[in-house]
Amino acid sequence: MTVMFVTGTDTDAGKTFISSAILWGLTQSKVNTLGYKPIAAGAAIENGSLVNSDAALLAKYSAANVDAGDINPICLAPPIAPHIAAQQAGITICEEDLLTHLNQTIEKHAPEFTLVEGAGGWKVPLDLAGNTLADLPKKQRWPVIMVVGMKLGCLNHALLTADAMISDGVALAGWVANCVDPDMKEQSTNIESLKALLPSPCLGVVPFMAQAEPERAWSYIQSGFARYVKH
């Protein structure tokens, strides 16, 4: 069973979009997939429960029969930094509790491929004591996929994020260039720069889409995930 962690260069890099594409593509090849969102901030009431739209998408594209509540143990209403939202809600975010819930979910659904999506960027705080969401993949030794939101400033963001992961002793399995800005100048040159500067392979380049289409995005990253596809 494979577990991978997805992080991004910033909040709007497109983690959920790319994660959904990966889940969809592998599910189509009969891989039993599970998307998981341990922490989400920004949710609305649906049928009496708080539901985060990102978690709902991960549930939708998972092969496992799950809903958003099954894969998102900490769901906070305001779209702000998770540790601030948790403080406002009187909730303490505990890494051990997150891992316990994930393991229980994996035991129940027996996925072959689990994708754990982070919140925001790599060093999102869980509290003011220095704990971050990065501690989870770091301690569990999960390989990480970095989604680079291609826009002005992304070179700095990507290199800093990669350096932080390497400093944390985490394996950067690869990165996906997600073209979020259709007007970005020298986009292809920036992508080539990242290919030269980052210490891991580019798993695909997803063009700008006015409407996010994970099914179509898969075709741009499929070769990067070929090892996980059933033939």
pLDDT at 231 over 70: no
Note the pLDDT of residue 192: 99
pLDDT in tens, 12-34: 999 999 999 999 999 999 999 99
Measured between alpha carbons, how far is 117 from 39 in angstroms, rounded to an integer?
9
The answer on whether 178 is annotated among ligand-binding residues is: yes
Catalytic residue among 30, 37, 123, 185, which?
37
Per the annotation, the verdict on 123 as an active-site residue is no
Look up the pTM and report it. Answer: 0.97
Q: What is the CATH number of the domain that holds 41?
A: 3.40.50.300
Evaluate whether 150 touches 117 at the Cβ level (below 8 Å).
Answer: no
Number of Cβ atoms within 10 Å of the Cβ of 138: 17
Rg from Cα positions in the chain:
17
Number of Cβ atoms within 10 Å of the Cβ of 1: 10
Domain count, the chain: 1
The answer on whether 117 is annotated among ligand-binding residues is: yes
Measured between alpha carbons, how far is 213 from 181 in angstroms, rounded to an integer?
16
Distance linking the first and last C-alpha atoms of the chain? 17
The answer on whether 149 is annotated among ligand-binding residues is: no
pLDDT at 209 over 70: yes
Give the β-pairing of 44-46 and 49-51: antiparallel
Q: Residue 83: CB partners within 8 Å, gap ≥ 6?
A: 93, 124, 125, 126, 127, 128
The answer on whether 151 is annotated among ligand-binding residues is: no
pLDDT in tens, 128-161: 999 999 999 999 999 999 999 999 999 999 999 9
Evaluate whether 71 touches 105 at the Cβ level (below 8 Å).
Answer: yes
pLDDT in tens, 114-131: 999 999 999 999 999 999
The answer on whether 132 is annotated among ligand-binding residues is: no
Q: What percent of the chain has pLDDT over 90?
A: 97
The answer on whether 179 is annotated among ligand-binding residues is: yes
Measured between alpha carbons, how far is 102 from 74 in angstroms, rounded to an integer?
12
pLDDT in tens, 36-63: 999 999 999 998 999 999 999 999 999 9
> Tokens 């301690």, residue?
139
Q: Is 159 left (phi over 0), alpha (psi -120 to 50) or beta?
A: alpha
The answer on whether 12 is annotated among ligand-binding residues is: yes
Tokens of 11: 């909040």
**Closest of 138, 145, 136 to residue 4, by C-alpha:** 145
Task: Kindly give the interhelix angle for 214-221 and 15-28, rounded to the nearest 10 degrees.
Answer: 80
Measured between alpha carbons, how far is 39 from 125 in angstroms, rounded to an integer?
11
The answer on whether 118 is annotated among ligand-binding residues is: yes
Domain of 75, in residue numbers? 2-228
Note the pLDDT of residue 101: 98
Note the pLDDT of residue 175: 99
pLDDT at 230 over 90: no
